[in-house]
Amino acid sequence: MPMYFFDLTDDAKDNHANDMGVELAADEVPDEAVAFLATVARDRLPGGCDRAFHVSVRDASGGVVFEAQLTLKSGWL
């Protein structure tokens, strides 16, 4: 199976490049990217209600093959 690398950026200007690859079939990449964003959001949202997270998925050659973004805005009415 091919190797993919997940790089995270959030609106707090935290950038995290992942040098640890994950072996996945190409059709598994979208679900894994979305699950990754959900996990990151759950872990980081206690630090603020309005956040945006972006993940870029690279293949073994370094090219970006998939991107996903999760934005949460919440507040009292």
Question: Is the pTM higher than 0.85?
Answer: no
pLDDT of residue 47: 58
pLDDT of residue 41: 80
pLDDT of residue 16: 67
Alpha carbon of 49 to those of 17, 32, 39, 58, 75: distances in Å? 24, 24, 15, 29, 7
pLDDT of residue 67: 97
pLDDT along the chain (77 residues), means of 10: 92 70 95 92 71 92 95 80
Annotated domain spans of the chain: 3-72
